[in-house]
Chain A
Amino acid sequence: MEIISEVLQLFLHPENFLAIALGVVIGVVVGSIPGLTATMAVALALPFTFSMEPIAAILLLVGIYKGGMYGGSITAILIRTPGSPASACTLLDGYPMAQQGHAKKALKMALYSSVIADFISNIALIFFAAYLAKIALNFGAPEFFWLICFSLTIIISLASGSMIKGLLAALLGILLSLVGLDEVFGSQRLTFGNYNLMDSISFIPLLIGLFAIPEIVEFYRKKALPHIKAKASGASVTLSEMKRSLKTIVRGSLIGVIIGAIPGTGATAAAFISYSDARRRSPRRDNFGKGEVEGVAASEAGNNGVAGATMIPLLSLGIPGDVITAIILGAFMVHGLTPGPLLFQENLPLIYALFMGIMFSSLVLLVVGNGAIKYFSLIADIPKEILFPIVLMFCVYGAYAVNNDTFDVWLMLGFGVLGYVFNRAAIPAAPFLIGFILGPMFEDNLRRSLLIGGNDLSIFVRGPIAWFFIALTLGSILLALYRYVTARRLPTQTDTSQEAP
């Protein structure tokens, strides 16, 4: 009884409701503007949370995340430009529907399937996070060491694009995370005598630099494209269409939950798997890709089903599942909280209050999405040449606010250049960020294991939990190699078949 009143006391605070509502609105708005991503919005909102209570701060970021996931589908449907990579699948049927005059139907179906998937995903988070955290209480330093090894290898093996580039990005992230004073011996590591680097590289300038600045640089580097007008018109979703799509939505949501709970897989894969599964099972499979409402439902359910589930490894193990949860992990740290099993033991009311807020965000998404559907076309019409100077302003002010020092603005620009180079060289930025976050955890658990075991390396294979994670790590390396070999083989086969008469 005492814990319930404590949870309600923490949650029933006007600031929390305002944070969720504001977060969802920002997320939907940003997501519906091509070129601005939910990741960028979450990164830019992080400095705003400094003065907020931890729950409100995290709920604001979660709200942006969820709103952004749905917002990305708006431009995919209206102007064939996905607001996020995960929405790329939605345009397959959403855009043909808009062309046929059914934009509103597609947008409503995207909204309803997003909300249902989000709700299912949140339920999964509530059930599995606590359970996983309970198991993780049995982990010691060697088990966490292998868990981090597994997380790093699975993220790299499942990262989109070249595996070698993903590995290089993760290694660079780990390397930069080591800059600063060594925690055990206090010796300086790659600080070059600069006192700004003694406390390691600031997370927020890195984040803003890596995910917001490259978009701005690229916009001014590229040839200006003509602005496409969007229009959300037509009839809404009928009850029979909703009934017809319900099974697809539930299946897509479950696919999203399973994929989201595995670090590194992400919403894009979930959307495409859910879509192909729906097409395979649907009696109207011939209409997929030509403007089938079930197709929109499947892809949106897949990508939104991931949203709550990616928080499972974050909250229970302290391992971020994707880039946005990595930023949310940063928000926890800014507020002096460390996600993981101990958080469940020491701060259970906070966790439950967060769960309540996350559940509430689904409802807010439904209300915001329904109420603002006619304004979406207006949002998508804001020209980028007006938006990007404002985004840059937020970047600079946000980076400066961390330590009230222009060094952080320079740092942000440096990482912005690095992010731009990454884009040009097709090196993924996500493994870099995950490497930056997991690097210190990796080293810390390695050293603690050595200290516990008295420098005896057998501590790393001390029990079944460690063996389990070793097997998973080896499995993910084999998976990466398999993906690499098959990716190499496929184009060769295609070439051969093309050359054949």
Chain B
Amino acid sequence: MSTPVHKRGGPIRDPGDVLAGVVLLIASAILLFHLIPNYIGEPPILQNPMMSPRWLPRIVGWLLLGFSALLIVQGLLVDNTDKEDGRRIEKGPRRRFALMVVALLVYVTLFEALGAVISGILATLILFVAHPVRTWWVYGLAIVFPVVVTFLFVKVMNVPLPVMPF
């Protein structure tokens, strides 16, 4: 299963570029008309508008808007789908990807609660199962590595980490 390849000839030459352009266009419009006026404070008196905290974000916002529109135009007129730019990948099983997401969630949600060692062991085991690793002794590494890496951070490099839940 691989990402669909759209051949030229249709109304949209490069759907990927058009999609990226539309997403960025919407994001820049939200930035310009909602985020900048509401989430960037401006002092009541300004000697020069270029000194305003809103000035650069606004310029960047307008440039983003303009260039994302250009990207849409490029996607409509130019076919870049044949280029080897890393966009096309041969997808693997969904279970593999889903388990990787679970491993990431284990890290972010349980890191402080369970500590670096236990969350590391859990996430590494999940990632080994995700691939799946079929050599049984490799699973032993899922215990060894988190212990060694945590030791390296905490004891050798003096970088504090929550080691254990207790």
Contact = CB atoms under 8 A, between A and B. Distances in A.
Interface of A: 47-48, 50-51, 161-162, 164-165, 167-168, 171-172, 174-175, 178, 182, 184-185, 187-192, 216-218, 220-224, 385-386, 388-390, 392-394, 396-397, 400-401, 404, 406, 409-410, 413, 423-427, 439, 442-443, 446-447, 450-451, 455, 488
B64 A223 contact: no
A168 B64 contact: yes
B51 A393 contact: no
A442 to B, nearest CB: 8
Interface of B: 16-17, 19-20, 24, 31, 35, 39-43, 47-48, 50-51, 53, 56-57, 60-61, 63-64, 67-68, 70-71, 74, 78, 80, 83, 85-87, 89-92, 96-97, 99-100, 103-104, 107-108, 111-112, 116, 120, 123-124, 127-128, 130-131, 133, 138, 141-142, 145-146, 149-150, 153, 157-161
Contact of B92 (A190, A221, A443): A221
B41 A188 contact: yes
The 7 A-B residue pairs with the shortest CB-CB distance in the complex, in nearest-first order: A187-B41, A220-B100, A426-B85, A385-B131, A182-B53, A389-B127, A223-B92
A401 B19 CA distance: 37
Contacts of A392: 103-104, 107, 123, 127
Looking at chain A's contact residues, the main secondary structure is: helix
A488 B78 contact: yes
A427 B20 contact: yes
Contacts of A182: 41, 53
B25 to A, nearest CB: 10
Nearest to A189: B40
Contacts, number: 188
Contact of A190 (B35, B47, B68, B97): B35
B57 A413 contact: no
B89 A222 contact: yes
Contact of A426 (B86, B91, B103, B160): B86
A390 B63 CA distance: 40
A89 to B, nearest CB: 15
A389 B128 contact: yes
B56 to A, nearest CB: 5
Given A188-B39, A394-B149, A164 B70 contact: yes
A496 to B, nearest CB: 14
Contacts of B111: 396, 400, 406, 409
Given A171-B60, A392-B127, A455-B48, A413 B108 contact: yes
B19 to A, nearest CB: 8
A396 B145 CA distance: 14
Count chain B CB atoms within 10 A of each CB in A162, A168, A182, A393 and give the residue with the most: A393
Given A385-B131, A389-B128, A427-B20, A220 B41 contact: no
A221 B60 contact: no
B71 A165 contact: yes
11 contacts: A47-B159, A50-B159, A51-B158, A392-B104, A396-B107, A401-B159, A406-B111, A425-B20, A442-B56, A450-B50, A488-B78
